[in-house]
Every structure is written in C-alpha cells, then in structure tokens.
Amino acid sequence: MPKITIAQNILAANDIIAQDIHQLLTIRGIRTINMMSSPGAGKTTLLERTIERLRGQLEVGVIEGDIETGNDAERIEAAGAETVQINTQGACHLEAHMVQDALKEMNLTGMRLLFIENIGNLVCPAAWDLGEDIRIVIASTTEGDDKPAKYPQMFAISQIMVVNKIDLLPYVDYSLEKVRRQALAINPNLRIFEVSCRTGDGLDAWCEWLSAFINGTT
C-alpha cells in the first residue's frame, strides 16, 4: 500500500507540472505532440521526413528523449528543427519536469509545432502526462502485429496511430487488418495513418493532417 501512495503522489506532482507546460505552450500558440513507440519503430526517421516536408511552412521544435547519446538530436537538427536533448540516464520514460527544463533552453518565439520524442517503450510513457495536446503511438511492420493486444494502455491513451515501414510488408509476416482491428477494439476513436519513410507513401496525408491539427481544423 505505501508504494501505491508514493506512486500516486509522484504522478500528481507530475500532472501539476504538465498543466503548467500545457498552459505555457497554449498561450504561445504552440501545438504539442507526444510521440511514443517501442525502440526501432522509426520515430526519429518519421520526424526527419516530417520536418523536411514542413520546412518553410512553419517553425518546428523537437525535444528528444533518449537514455543515452545525442545521436537522434543531431539528426533532427540536421533536418532543420530546433532541438533539445534529454538523456534520462536509465529512466524508461520522460517526465514533465524534464520537459519543463528542456523548454527553458528553447527559443519558442514563432514556433507553431513541438514534438516530444519519448523514450522507446510501450509501457511506462503511457502513464506520464507531459503537457501535450495529443499523443501518437508509432507501430512498425518489423515488430509484429500483436502490439495493440500486448500493450493496450498505450493504444487506449493515444489519439493517433502511425503504422510505419509499410514498404516492408511484402517481406514480413504482418497483417495491417489485424493491427487495425486490435487497435480500434481498444480505442474506436483512434485515427490511423500508414506510412513509409523510405518511399514517402502516406507522408502527404500525415503532413496534411498535421497542418489541420496546428490550425485547429481536425
């Protein structure tokens, strides 16, 4: 019982900070997306392709979460977005106070869209509010088509699911129909995009949705 109380207290404190973050970003007119997935699903590559397509249309910022290294932040900066790296030194998720500290290092002037790339994990990040407007879970065809059934909480709390690496469908044992069915059984309101960062398939629809999301027309 004491462990449950401690966990509740920690989450309550996190939620207060998350509310402050959301208020700050809303006042500045910045829409914020918390991106979550298992390791290797392609979050960083999807961000690269998205930033490249939106370049010149709007200012994008990225908070990069990793256990170690700044490799992904370097990739995102090269794609053209202001980036701040968070290294959790072993923690399996980002927390609101980490995001709050990262925001102090960013120039938010003119920014319209902020991505928070969470730690690769389909369990822990689902429990932590980071002050985002929306949560996106990225699945990939290389990781098996049973992820919604195995990790239902992640799909229940997300508003968008992106199925990545669809160019590999001919070479892997993966059923898009099964994934859609499982995910929608958990969350009937989940919106689903199917993309390939390698070929570009589906990225136009994804970026069109992002533009509508930023403008409040989704």
- The pLDDT of residue 74 is 93
pLDDT tens-digit map of 147-166: 999 999 999 999 999 999 99
pLDDT value of residue 5? 56
pLDDT at 30: 97
Model confidence pLDDT, tens digit, residues 17-56? 999 999 999 999 999 999 999 999 999 999 999 999 998 8
For residue range 51-89, list pLDDT tens digits in order.
999 988 889 999 999 988 888 999 999 999 999 999 998
| 172-202 tens-digit pLDDT | 999 999 999 999 999 999 999 999 999 999 9
Q: Please give the average per-residue pLDDT across 114-118, as a whole number.
A: 98
Domain ranges of the chain: 2-214
- How sure is the predictor about 218, in pLDDT bands with cuts at 50, 70 and 90? confident
Angle between helix axes 96-103 and 2-27 (nearest 10 degrees) is 30
State which fold the 2-214 domain adopts. Rossmann fold (3.40.50)
Query: Can you give the pLDDT at residue 67?
Result: 87
pLDDT score recorded for residue 9:
78
Under the banding of pLDDT at 50, 70 and 90, the label for residue 217 is confident
DSSP the chain: -HHHHHHHHHHHHHHHHHHHHHHHHHHTT-EEEEEEESTTS-HHHHHHHHHHHHTTTSEEEEEEEESS-SHHHHHHHHHT-EEEEEE-TT-SS--HHHHHHHHTTS--TTEEEEEEE--S-SSGGGG---S-SEEEEEEETTS-TTHHHH-HHHHHH-SEEEEE-GGGGGGS---HHHHHHHHHHH-TT-EEEE--TTT-TTHHHHHHHHHHHHTT--
